[in-house]
Amino acid sequence: MLGNFSYCNPTKLYFGKDAIQGLNEELPKYGKNVLLVYGGGSIKKNGIYDRVVEILKANGKIIAEDAGVMPNPTIEKVYEGCERAKKCNADLILAVGGGSVCDYAKAVSVSVYCKEDPWEKYYIRFEEPDNKIIPVGCVLTMVGTGSEMNGGSVITNFSQKLKIGKVFGEEVFPKFSVLDPEYTFTLPKYQMVSGFFDIMSHLLEQYFSGTDDNTSDYIIEGLLRSLIHSAQIAVNNPLDYEARSNIMWTATWALNTLVAKGKDTDWEVHMLGQAVSAHTDATHGMTLAAVSLPYYRFILPYGLSKFKRYALNVWDVDGTGKTDEEIAEEGLKAMKAWMRKIGLVMNLRDLGVKEEMIDGLVKSTLVMTGGYKVLTAEDIRNIFKASL
Amino acid sequence: MLGNFSYCNPTKLYFGKDAIQGLNEELPKYGKNVLLVYGGGSIKKNGIYDRVVEILKANGKIIAEDAGVMPNPTIEKVYEGCERAKKCNADLILAVGGGSVCDYAKAVSVSVYCKEDPWEKYYIRFEEPDNKIIPVGCVLTMVGTGSEMNGGSVITNFSQKLKIGKVFGEEVFPKFSVLDPEYTFTLPKYQMVSGFFDIMSHLLEQYFSGTDDNTSDYIIEGLLRSLIHSAQIAVNNPLDYEARSNIMWTATWALNTLVAKGKDTDWEVHMLGQAVSAHTDATHGMTLAAVSLPYYRFILPYGLSKFKRYALNVWDVDGTGKTDEEIAEEGLKAMKAWMRKIGLVMNLRDLGVKEEMIDGLVKSTLVMTGGYKVLTAEDIRNIFKASL
């Protein structure tokens, strides 16, 4: 059943080849000071930086830069970004990069004029902004997080060994995002498939929750089928525009609030994965890949009918003459085979986790209540052990 | 492949039981003069009118009324609505009803300050508004058209025997829509299932076009599966909230621009159906139901692989040992059985069409170019004959 909700997604998207031209429609809406935020500098090698700067200048903008946003952006970096945004009196924060850069830009946007410590306010107490928010725009260069069309912002505090995702409201969503599938072509394969699994995990986190019938689960099944199909093509040929464009679009709709409307959601896989990231700085999507199957095997008995439906509707398992358990298990096997085939990391050891780190991981894992089983510390320990 | 596009849907939705409370959040954003638009007065019997007026008054609004919007709203009625809107100096047009009332409200919203004949400007020359547009809000009481979250506005000109749908841009989309599934409970069954087929037709018009792989077709398959499942439940028990809420949500996403993004679309079934409405004033969804199977049978050879996919992915046809043609045909048979089961009108005679009217219907049918076969006048004639 669809519960009560309100829905509005104000982000304007420019999608396709040369979508960067959309900046010419958006930039005139903002003042002249732009804080250009990006990561490790790959955009300087592939020409995207030059293209963006050229368009900013043609629109009369004064550019201040905030480079070096790391894959798991830290709260210390956010403090630094706030200083830069204040110094240049930023009218717009333009994030050029993947989900981490977008997440970071949103964190800075709500923190510049925040009167207290934004880590405490937003990431510990989960409060909403009550101060001026600097508008954010995105030029996406990596696909997976959905950050280009939502209010999510994951920030890591290494000193506290916490990686926490805050979901802000519509007023923090990017005002616009540029989605050119060709901008993702130069991404190394490891990051590419990591992003693919991030998308899958977003869909599964929202799917494996609730027992009633709702339209959102049907939409999720469609998005999963598209992703599974296109990911295999993209791994064989990362320059396949059709596959990469489908995956880019799927990623956006996997986490822009739509498929969660009116239904329960889980997010425990992300809690397990974020604990791993907080201890190892491993790539986000790979942490999810390493823990997903052990987690789903563990909760399968508690959500059997949904796992059966998953096998039949997403993996086309032939259910003839099989028990529900057998059908459900066959779905997870098909998922495992697909994960191996596209080159995902299948265990935590490959991400640098050692047995003696498990106590720490358990402590860093937040427990969610929307899934088919609320995990105990012992459950979490067993899942991490099975993921090693 | 996903072609280039931009996407933004600014409509704010309030969904669920007592969603009407959302008016209290929206009304303060507009001036005090509200033109309340509705249809034949059923909202006065089921209490929705009283509820809306009460909230409008509690928000200090001055209400002018424009009642009697007909199922296929006419351009003459639009002229009348413009006079009323001008007279009360409307700051907001609040449409309470189904798709016709919403379509009508949008037509009035762009026509009040239009300096020339809006029929000529918008519906014949398909131009965009370049004058002041009065904001529109909707309270939906019938499900099907998707008008609550798009820029569509279908208006009929009986003297010209034309029913034409204009698709306006984002600035004409409703600012907000209230979607309470319980508000649709009192709708007579004939109108209810007519709306169900309107939803299905919107999805199929966008599905049966193009031969390449794209995410939108996967989303459409999901929405179709949800609709097919819930429609059967709703027909057995119109008070089943779960089924009615799923159908309401599916209807919105079937035609709010999303699933058409980056792909070709057809819309020939709507052209055939609209020709029938222009000559008979038959219920929209039923006109689509009466012509769909003859049309799809006719174009099947030109889009065989998509019809095969439709059979497998939407109707769960078992393809083992069958030719593509057999699989595709079995899909249409399953669709026909479902249509009969939920009580749709399966031929044009039941809608008052006689053989001698076919010449006129052919003349009133616009020919689209996005489907698998561009129809000749002879094709159209044959399809109408097969639909009798």
H/E stretch holding A179: strand A176-179
Pick left, alpha or beta for residue A214 (phi over 0 → left; psi -120 to 50 → alpha; otherwise beta): beta
Please report the pLDDT score of residue A182 as a whole number. 97
Cα separation of B94 and B109, whole Å? 10
* pLDDT tens readout for residues A333-386: 999 999 999 999 999 999 999 999 999 999 999 999 999 999 999 999 999 999
Check B246 against A212: CB less than 8 A apart.
no
Q: Taking CA atoms, what residue in A is nearest to B178? A: A6
H/E stretch holding A137: strand A136-140
Q: What are φ and ψ of residue A106, in 5° steps?
A: -65, -40
Check B215 against A262: CB less than 8 A apart.
no
Confidence of residue B122 (pLDDT cuts 50, 70, 90): very high
- Tokens linked to B303: 């889009």
Other Cβ atoms within 10 Å of B160 Cβ, number: 14
Other Cβ atoms within 10 Å of A127 Cβ, number: 14
Confidence of residue B115 (pLDDT cuts 50, 70, 90): very high
- Tokens linked to B232: 């059967």
Nearest by CB to B222, from A13, A22, A222: name it: A222
H/E stretch holding A64: strand A62-66
Check A242 against B214: CB less than 8 A apart.
yes
DSSP state of A358: H
How many angstroms separate the CA of residue B7 from the nearest CA in chain A? 5
Asked if residue B243 lies in contact with residue B184, where contact means CB atoms within 8 angstroms, the answer is no
Asked if residue A234 lies in contact with residue A247, where contact means CB atoms within 8 angstroms, the answer is yes
DSSP state of A304: H
Say if residue A241 is exposed, middle or buried (CB neighbours under 10 Å; 0-12, 13-18, 19+): middle
Q: Is A205 helix (H, G, I), strand (E, B) or coil?
A: helix
Cα separation of B140 and B107, whole Å? 17
Residue with tokens 């639009």: B78
Please report the pLDDT score of residue B86 as a whole number. 98
CA A348, distance to chain mean position in Å, is 20
- Is residue A2 scored above 90 in pLDDT? no
How many angstroms separate the CA of residue A244 from the nearest CA in chain B? 9
Q: Is A165 helix (H, G, I), strand (E, B) or coil?
A: strand
* pLDDT tens readout for residues A140-180: 999 999 999 999 999 999 899 888 999 999 999 999 999 99
Reduce the secondary structure of B206-227 to three states and give it as a string. Answer: HHCCCCCCCHHHHHHHHHHHHH
Nearest by CB to B213, from A213, A222, A242: name it: A242
* pLDDT tens readout for residues B290-343: 999 999 999 999 999 999 999 999 999 999 999 999 999 999 999 999 999 999
Please report the pLDDT score of residue B2 as a whole number. 85
**Where are chain A's structural domains?**
12-183, 189-387
Asked if residue A311 lies in contact with residue A330, where contact means CB atoms within 8 angstroms, the answer is yes
* pTM, 2 dp: 0.96
Cα separation of B115 and B270, whole Å? 30
- Is residue B29 scored above 90 in pLDDT? yes
* pLDDT tens readout for residues A13-27: 999 999 999 999 999
Asked if residue A176 lies in contact with residue A124, where contact means CB atoms within 8 angstroms, the answer is no
Check A11 against B8: CB less than 8 A apart.
yes
Check B229 against A213: CB less than 8 A apart.
yes
Mean pLDDT, rounded, for B173-183: 98
Say if residue B59 is exposed, middle or buried (CB neighbours under 10 Å; 0-12, 13-18, 19+): middle
Rg for chain A (alpha carbons), in Å? 20
Substitution target in B215, B228, B315 with the highest count of A β-carbons within 10 Å is: B215
Pairing verdict, β B176-179 and B5-15 = parallel
DSSP state of A74: B
- Tokens linked to B377: 């006048």
Q: Is A353 helix (H, G, I), strand (E, B) or coil?
A: coil
Of A310, A297, A308, whose CA–CA distance to A373 is shortest?
Answer: A297
- Is residue A1 scored above 80 in pLDDT? no
Mean pLDDT, rounded, for B26-42: 96
Cα separation of A73 and A92, whole Å? 20
Say if residue B354 is exposed, middle or buried (CB neighbours under 10 Å; 0-12, 13-18, 19+): exposed
Please report the pLDDT score of residue A239 as a whole number. 97
* pLDDT tens readout for residues A98-157: 999 999 999 999 999 999 999 999 999 999 999 999 999 999 999 999 999 999 999 999
Say if residue B130 is exposed, middle or buried (CB neighbours under 10 Å; 0-12, 13-18, 19+): exposed
How many angstroms separate the CA of residue B41 from the nearest CA in chain A? 27
Cα separation of B263 and B211, whole Å? 10
Substitution target in A6, A221, A316 with the highest count of B β-carbons within 10 Å is: A6
Mean pLDDT, rounded, for B249-255: 98
**Percent of the residues in chain B that have a pLDDT greater than 70, as a whole number:** 100
Reduce the secondary structure of chain B to three states and give it as a string. Answer: CCCCEEEEEEEEEEECCCHHHHHHHHHHHCCCEEEEEECCCHHHHCCHHHHHHHHHHHCCCEEEEECCCCCCCEHHHHHHHHHHHHHCCCCEEEEEECHHHHHHHHHHHHHCCCCCCHHHHHHHCCCCCCCCCCCEEEEECCCCCCHHHCCEEEEEECCCCEEEEEECCHHHCCCEEEECHHHHCCCCHHHHHHHHHHHHHHHHHHHCCCCCCCHHHHHHHHHHHHHHHHHHHHHHCCCCHHHHHHHHHHHHHHCCCHHHCCCCCCCHHHHHHHHHHHHHCCCHHHHHHHHHHHHHHHHHHHHHHHHHHHHHHCCCCCCCCCCHHHHHHHHHHHHHHHHHHHCCCCCCHHHCCCHHHHHHHHHHCCCCCCCCCCCCHHHHHHHHHHHC
What is the ipTM for the molecules in this complex?
A: 0.95
CATH superfamily, domain at A189-387: Dehydroquinate synthase-like - alpha domain (1.20.1090.10)
How many angstroms separate the CA of residue A20 from the nearest CA in chain B? 11
Of B178, B250, B210, whose CA–CA distance to B17 is shortest?
Answer: B178
Q: Is A68 helix (H, G, I), strand (E, B) or coil?
A: coil
Please report the pLDDT score of residue B41 as a whole number. 86
Residue with tokens 């933004």: B8
Q: Which residues of B touch A242 (CB under 8 A)?
A: 1-2, 212-214
Check A250 against B215: CB less than 8 A apart.
yes
Q: What are φ and ψ of residue A227, in 5° steps?
A: -60, -50
Other Cβ atoms within 10 Å of A7 Cβ, number: 20
Nearest by CB to A226, from B7, B215, B241: name it: B215
- Is residue B1 scored above 90 in pLDDT? no
How many angstroms separate the CA of residue A225 from the nearest CA in chain B? 7
* pLDDT tens readout for residues A37-87: 999 989 999 999 999 999 999 999 999 999 999 988 999 999 999 999 999
Mean pLDDT, rounded, for B187-194: 95
Q: Strand order of the sheet with strand A62-66?
A: A62-66, A33-38, A92-97, A136-140, A176-179, A5-15, B5-15, B176-179, B136-140, B92-97, B33-38, B62-66
Pick left, alpha or beta for residue B191 (phi over 0 → left; psi -120 to 50 → alpha; otherwise beta): alpha
* pLDDT tens readout for residues B150-163: 999 999 998 998 88
Please give the class, per CATH, of domain B12-183.
alpha beta
Cα separation of A258 and A380, whole Å? 29
* pLDDT tens readout for residues A226-259: 999 999 999 999 999 999 999 999 999 999 999 9
**Percent of the residues in chain B that have a pLDDT greater than 90, as a whole number:** 95
Cα separation of B243 and B241, whole Å? 6
* pLDDT tens readout for residues B58-75: 999 999 999 999 988 999
- Is residue A328 scored above 90 in pLDDT? yes
Check B15 against A262: CB less than 8 A apart.
yes
Pairing verdict, β B5-15 and A5-15 = antiparallel
Confidence of residue A278 (pLDDT cuts 50, 70, 90): confident
Asked if residue B283 lies in contact with residue B273, where contact means CB atoms within 8 angstroms, the answer is no
Cα separation of A348 and A291, whole Å? 7
Check A246 against B213: CB less than 8 A apart.
yes
How many angstroms separate the CA of residue A279 from the nearest CA in chain B? 36
Check B1 against A218: CB less than 8 A apart.
no
